[in-house]
């Protein structure tokens, strides 16, 4: 009986000992693996710290590019250091003045309108040009002063009608009349077709930039409904003042012909990117044939750009003339020179599909 009791106690002891060994192994194994995990993490941190000390991750920064500077009159890119100043110059268009014409092809905007006697005259507006010779310079008329005031800055002319000079005396324009220095005569040409202006000297005069925004919407979004044309002809008066514009598909501009001859300045053909025909009323007011021309209110405008033609309106209720399409949106043109032609009726404009050959 006693032997049996000790044998049972021995079995119990062995079972308890087995359980104890199992628990010890279980607890020890867990501690061992936790130690390995902690040690591995420490090694990884040390490795990462070591690598970060040798190779630094790249720092990606957004590059800030300088904003391109655009001409307010043409929408073309210009150098950021360029000083923008509006200078309007009265340039004549008498046949005797055409061989020595200078600067007209470099103006940002050119407005052509009748003076008197069937003769047209130009208001050439510059914003960045530094030409030393622009002309021939001629006299002002009130409506040309109206347009020059829209651009502000300086106004270059040689006298003018009494009304125009009175208007200039009350204007904020910096007035450059014939003075013998900035405006000078070149006597290799006959008077009065020999007066020129040194545009670079005008720009050196102290006056503030008056052009705070682009003159047109230069996005070049031509309406889908625009008609394709290759030539337009403008009949101002006499045959020598008939203007033809022939579209050049290769260069994307219009060759200008005057009286059937290629119109040049500085010996280079004049080739605007855009043409606007602005219709308004004008009529003679004296025996000399001087005109009164309406520059305010609104009227029809025709647009020509990229070989296309579409219609809209012009409007001026104060400040400056603005141009719109048929839906009331700002008229969109392509960046480049713009000629604005002032006529009284669409009957003076002929638009055709076939034109003169572009040389």
- pLDDT tens string 226-279: 999 999 999 999 999 999 999 999 999 999 999 999 999 988 999 999 999 999
By percentage, how much of the chain surpasses pLDDT 90? 67
Task: DSSP letter for 351, please.
Answer: E
- pLDDT tens string 4-57: 444 555 555 554 555 555 555 555 555 444 544 444 444 444 434 443 444 445
**Residue 274 host element (H or E):** strand 274-279
Instruction: Assess whether 3 and 95 both reside in one domain.
Output: no
Instruction: Assess whether 180 and 118 both reside in one domain.
Output: yes
Per DSSP, the residues of 166-191 read HHHHTSSSEEE---SSSEEE-TTS-T
- Higher pLDDT: 310 or 353? It is 310
Instruction: Assess whether 44 and 110 both reside in one domain.
Output: no
Read off the CATH number of the domain in which 288 is found: 3.50.90.10
Instruction: Assess whether 202 and 133 both reside in one domain.
Output: yes
Residue 343 lies in a domain: yes
Instruction: Assess whether 210 and 256 both reside in one domain.
Output: yes
Is 180's pLDDT higher than 80?
A: no
Which sign does the torsion angle of CA 342, 346, 352, 355 carry? negative
Of 282, 92, 319, 84, nearest to 196 by C-alpha is 92
Residue 126 lies in a domain: yes
Instruction: Assess whether 42 and 184 both reside in one domain.
Output: no
Query: In which domain, by residue range, is 144 found?
Result: 73-352
Contact 178, 138 (CB under 8 A): no
Question: Which of 33, 60, 87 finishes a domain?
Answer: 60
Average pLDDT over all residues of the chain: 85
Instruction: Assess whether 211 and 298 both reside in one domain.
Output: yes
- pLDDT tens string 190-224: 999 999 999 999 999 988 888 988 999 999 999 99
- Amino acid 31: pLDDT: 47
- Amino acid 64: pLDDT: 52
Residue 357 lies in a domain: no
Is 3's pLDDT higher than 50?
A: no
Residue 358 lies in a domain: no
- Determine the average pLDDT of the residues in 110-118: 94
Residue 68 lies in a domain: no
Contact 301, 312 (CB under 8 A): yes
Total domains in the fold of the chain: 2
- Amino acid 52: pLDDT: 43
Question: Which of 35, 60, 85 finishes a domain?
Answer: 60
Beta partners for 253? Answer: 248
Instruction: Assess whether 214 and 100 both reside in one domain.
Output: yes
Distances from the Cα of 309 to the Cαs of 18, 29, 351, in angstroms?
104, 90, 9
- Amino acid 346: pLDDT: 96
- Determine the average pLDDT of the residues in 60-74: 71
- Determine the average pLDDT of the residues in 269-297: 92
- Amino acid 63: pLDDT: 52
Residue 67 lies in a domain: no
Instruction: Assess whether 126 and 188 both reside in one domain.
Output: yes
Question: Which of 39, 60, 81 finishes a domain?
Answer: 60
Of 168, 156, 159, nearest to 201 by C-alpha is 156
Taking the alpha carbons at both ends of the chain, their separation in whole angstroms is: 136
- Amino acid 212: pLDDT: 83
pTM, two decimals, is 0.80
Instruction: Assess whether 93 and 202 both reside in one domain.
Output: yes
Residue 149 lies in a domain: yes
Cβ-proximal residues to 86 (8 Å cutoff; 6+ apart), any chain: 125, 126, 127, 151, 152, 153, 154, 209, 210, 211
Q: Cα 121 to the chain's mean position, in Å?
A: 25
Residue 65 lies in a domain: no
Instruction: Assess whether 40 and 103 both reside in one domain.
Output: no
Task: DSSP letter for 330, please.
Answer: B
Lowest-pLDDT range of 24-33, 172-181, 295-304, 348-357: 24-33
- Amino acid 226: pLDDT: 93
Instruction: Assess whether 9 and 157 both reside in one domain.
Output: no
């Amino acid at each position: 009986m006693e032997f049996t009791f000790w044998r049972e106690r021995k079995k119990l002891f062995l079972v308890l000992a087995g359980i104890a060994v199992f628990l010890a192994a279980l607890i020890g194994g867990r501690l061992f693996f936790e130690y390995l995990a902690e040690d591995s993490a420490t090694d990884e941190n040390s490795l990462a710290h070591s690598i970060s000390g040798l190779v630094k991750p790249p720092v990606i920064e957004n590059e800030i590019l300088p904003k391109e500077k655009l001409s307010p009159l043409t929408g073309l890119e210009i150098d950021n250091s360029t000083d923008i100043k509006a200078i309007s110059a009265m340039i004549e268009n008498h046949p005797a003045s055409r061989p020595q014409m200078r600067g007209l092809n470099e103006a940002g905007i050119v407005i052509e309108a009748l003076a008197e006697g069937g003769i047209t005259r130009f208001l050439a507006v510059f914003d960045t040009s530094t030409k030393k010779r622009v002309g021939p310079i001629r006299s002002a008329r009130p409506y040309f002063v109206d347009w020059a005031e829209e651009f502000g800055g300086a106004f270059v002319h040689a006298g003018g009608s009494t009304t125009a000079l009175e208007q200039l005396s009350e204007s904020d324009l910096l007035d450059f009349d014939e003075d013998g220095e900035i405006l000078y005569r070149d006597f290799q040409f006959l008077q009065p077709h020999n007066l020129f202006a040194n545009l670079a000297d005008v720009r050196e005069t102290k006056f503030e930039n008056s052009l705070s925004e682009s003159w047109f919407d230069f996005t070049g979004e031509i309406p889908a409904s625009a008609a394709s044309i290759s030539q337009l002809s403008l009949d101002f008066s006499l045959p020598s003042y008939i203007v033809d514009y022939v579209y050049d598909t290769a260069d994307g501009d219009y060759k200008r012909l005057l009286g059937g001859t290629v119109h040049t300045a500085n010996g280079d053909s004049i080739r605007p990117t855009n043409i606007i025909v602005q219709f308004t009323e004008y009529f003679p007011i004296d025996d000399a044939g001087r005109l009164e021309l309406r520059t305010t209110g609104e009227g029809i405008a025709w647009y020509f750009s990229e070989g296309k033609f579409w219609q809209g309106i012009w409007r001026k209720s104060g400040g400056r003339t603005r141009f719109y399409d048929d839906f009331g949106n700002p008229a969109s043109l392509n960046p480049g020179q713009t000629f604005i032609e002032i006529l009284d009726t669409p009957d003076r404009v002929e638009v055709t599909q076939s034109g003169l050959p572009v040389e």
